[in-house]
Chain A
Amino acid sequence: MTITGNYYLIVALLLFTIGATGLLIRRNVLVMFMCVELMLNAVNLTFVTFAKMLNDVGGQVIVFFTLVVAAAEVAVGLAIIVAIFRRRRGATADDIDLLRG
């Protein structure tokens, strides 16, 4: 059997769904962050697949920018998590339910 682009898109859809569901299920802030990374990777996979299906290099260039934004997001997000953990000893998202610092 030949593997067409649709197979990759289905895997990307399942990966995105697992990431989104995990984001809602898990309580640990770091694991929620990893689920965001799963969703980003699913979208990257769709971009590369469309670049292959439509024979266009633009999809691959967009993945470059997505990688850059994801790296910046990880740096800032982990800094926010470290700052929150300095203030209070809560490991879960339920402990961060106040808007005051």
Chain B
Amino acid sequence: MIAVMFFVVAAIVLGGAFGVVLSPNPVYSALFLVATLIGVAAFFLMQSAQLLAAVQVIVYASAVVVLFLFVIMLLGVDRREGLNDPRPLQRPVAIALGVLLVIEVVALAGHNWATGTKSQVAKLHGANIDSVARALFTTYLWPFEITSILFVAAVVGAVVLARRSGRGAPVEDTRAEVTS
């Protein structure tokens, strides 16, 4: 039963990933991304990480993808991408590098995927939220607080970057100036 579920979810995850890369329209890419993210959330559930599965669906599959779709619609780039490639060598080289990466990892780690290290922080047991929260607010309290500073910096940075600057620079094609 678990095995069947695993292979179905794996097919959804990898198919969604291929869809993100191969679909010519960015809107379709974002929708395929939702399939992959929910599949990963299902993997989290199957490995008894219930809290992370919920967070994955709430934060990633809804908030982040909605942000992506919002920017796609705002910028109006939901057109098909031209298939002619200005650098013809790049695609074969990229695919070859990807295949090389898989071969390399399987060759190096294929026998021992995980070492037998003992648990350092706390054991996984029972209620998942309980153990994760306990570790988050005791062992990892300092990184947790630093994360809030990172978030504030990101919010301020996003506002500053996306704000229309007071100098009033309209849309101009600076490439034309350079080439002329």
Contact = CB atoms under 8 A, between A and B. Distances in A.
Contacts of B47: 8, 48-49, 51-52
B79 A91 contact: yes
28 contacts: A3-B46, A8-B43, A14-B102, A16-B101, A17-B102, A30-B77, A35-B20, A37-B33, A38-B33, A38-B36, A41-B36, A41-B37, A48-B44, A48-B52, A51-B49, A52-B49, A54-B118, A58-B122, A58-B135, A58-B139, A61-B139, A72-B153, A75-B155, A75-B157, A76-B154, A79-B161, A82-B161, A92-B81
Interface of A: 1-3, 5-9, 11, 13-22, 24-28, 30-31, 33-35, 37-38, 41, 44-45, 48-58, 60-61, 63-65, 67-76, 78-83, 85-92, 94-95, 98, 100-101
B180 to A, nearest CB: 14
A78 B70 CA distance: 10
Please provide the 6 A-B residue pairs with the shortest distance between their CB atoms, ordered closest to farther. A22-B21, A24-B94, A72-B154, A21-B98, A79-B161, A58-B121
Secondary structure of the A contact surface, majority rule: helix
Nearest to B28: A31
Interface residues of B, number: 92
Given A13-B105, A48-B44, A67-B56, A25 B154 contact: no
A101 B94 CA distance: 29
Contacts of A19: 17, 21
Contacts of B43: 8, 11, 45, 48
Contacts of A95: 175
